[in-house]
Structure 1
């Protein structure tokens, strides 16, 4: 292996050489993409530019620049980690983007990718009735949903909550990075257990929702993410059932719950065929996100018992 790496560092010279070589190895290894990019080339660009401490949007002239020997070795290590260990690129760079904002991420949290980003950027559409004053980001992970909401609506009080103390440590890093500590509260809680008495205009939730079959078949890149944030029982709805039962107690009179269940939306419809979930359509892609009002949750509470 040492000999092979030495050969590569003598054969590859420019930024473009390393991007091309990395993309070729990624395709050869049949990697899975879905953590910020959808193809081998873009993944290779991110890793090479990260290793060189250069922005992705650097001038095209940089592609022909020669790397020093130390830079070649450093970039090769990053590329090899991606295709040999199949680590998602954001865990290697410790950076992901959500709502056009950068977030620190590592293996303690999911890589941000929720279509709820589009709702934040468009003002939550008809589901934000009146002026928002309080929002809960439940199962917050990195805190991206709540932090993006706080950045977009500076007068709104935002609470970040997660069962994982490790995830909340990552969320705290992001709160501080975006200078929002004065706007936000972080609470370690299993659903609403440590939020007793608290209520909100809007609850945003990207909970664990992957069913057992999908979880078992996930590619290694997704298995690198925390299982606590992914799986939720045989049909993917263990957490969501609890949420539907308890959410009305933590919503204001005209409050709304917006929740992502991904591919488990079919299971949710089958489990509660009489409940009027509103499935949100996204202009920029994404599915499996529903909205339901407090009034509707109360009207159909017998189905959630």
Structure 2
């Protein structure tokens, strides 16, 4: 039976969203019901999918144990009773409780890789994946970087993906949150990268004294107070410390810019994601020539800073 922690009866939930407690005849029938329910519920899509259809496919295939890249041939398959019960339970949590789907399936994808995902860290989502896949080009030239820091790593997807895409890269992933780091360490083990990826608990770079990196990738909290107050309910399921960063969303970004110069090699690069707060940072640093990355796969708000540019930026922040 579907959980009823919200106070709504099982029958009411099923009726409201035209869901049948009886097991559908085929996977295709189950998909129709799942898609219609998500579409009617008007849930927010932004934690791995961008439409009711994509989320319905992901939810259903995950629940019945079929590969996520399955074709239409699976639509004629029968649905086991326990699988349909799982679908209904996930739909209840997704629609009524507004939990992001990756927290229900325990899976998230980043840079084409699968990661364990739960409430210990934000659901992976960052255009920095494109930077990793492109080998940091065109900004890094010559032999590949040798060392990389994933700062504010959460579940570790950015740093782990960087290590997976470059076999000789040594990676440090750092976060202040011990729960997030426990998830990150599990993901390091899953991807068999314990020899090249090290997890460190640190308040930004406080515990990284003396260490320098060719590349720093960082997706810190950057949501401003206004956006935080108006965010869809799905974000309330995520760790709040991973989202907000002061009135304009830039408290942590400013710290990173001030401290990064002590942790980059001479030709090092900092990729700093600030999302919708990019306009505020751009205005604060007006007069400087800033490099905001344009992404072919979607996303925005990532600033590229070369090591030699940091002194001028730090000076501008002090004004």
TM-score bin (small chain): over 0.9
- Quote the Cα distance in structure 1 between the aligned partners of 2:10 and 2:166: 52
Q: 3-state DSSP class of the match of 1:185?
A: strand
- Quote the Cα distance in structure 2 between the aligned partners of 1:68 and 1:284: 37
| Map of 1:266 onto structure 2 | 279
Picking from 62, 65, 85, the partner of 1:53 is 65
| Map of 1:226 onto structure 2 | 239
For residues 256-305 of structure 1, the C-alpha deviation after alignment (integer angstroms, 9 at most, x for no partner) is 11111111010001112133221111111111111111111023422233
Picking from 23, 26, 30, the partner of 2:42 is 30
Matched, 1:77 2:112: no
Within a 5 Å distance, the mapping from 1:127-276 to structure 2 comes to: 127-131=139-143, 132-276=145-289
TM-score (norm 1): 0.95
- Quote the Cα distance in structure 2 between the aligned partners of 1:61 and 1:20: 15
Which has the larger helix fraction?
Answer: 1
Unaligned runs of 5+ residues in structure 1 are none
Question: Considering only aligned residues, what root-mean-square deviation do their CA atoms show, in Å?
Answer: 1.7
Deviates more, 1:250-259 or 1:72-81: 72-81
Picking from 266, 281, 300, the partner of 2:294 is 281
| Map of 2:135 onto structure 1 | 123
Picking from 76, 81, 86, the partner of 1:64 is 76
Aligned 8 A contact 1:20 1:41 in 2: no
How far residue 165 of structure 1 moved from its aligned partner, in angstroms, is: 0.7
For residues 201-230 of structure 1, the C-alpha deviation after alignment (integer angstroms, 9 at most, x for no partner) is 111101100000001110011222111111
How far residue 98 of structure 1 moved from its aligned partner, in angstroms, is: 0.9
- Quote the Cα distance in structure 2 between the aligned partners of 1:297 and 1:202: 14
TM-score (norm 2): 0.91
Please identify runs of 4+ aligned residues in structure 1 that moved more than 6 A. none
For residues 164-198 of structure 1, the C-alpha deviation after alignment (integer angstroms, 9 at most, x for no partner) is 11111111111111110001111000011111111
How far residue 79 of structure 1 moved from its aligned partner, in angstroms, is: 1.7
- Quote the Cα distance in structure 1 between the aligned partners of 2:83 and 2:271: 45
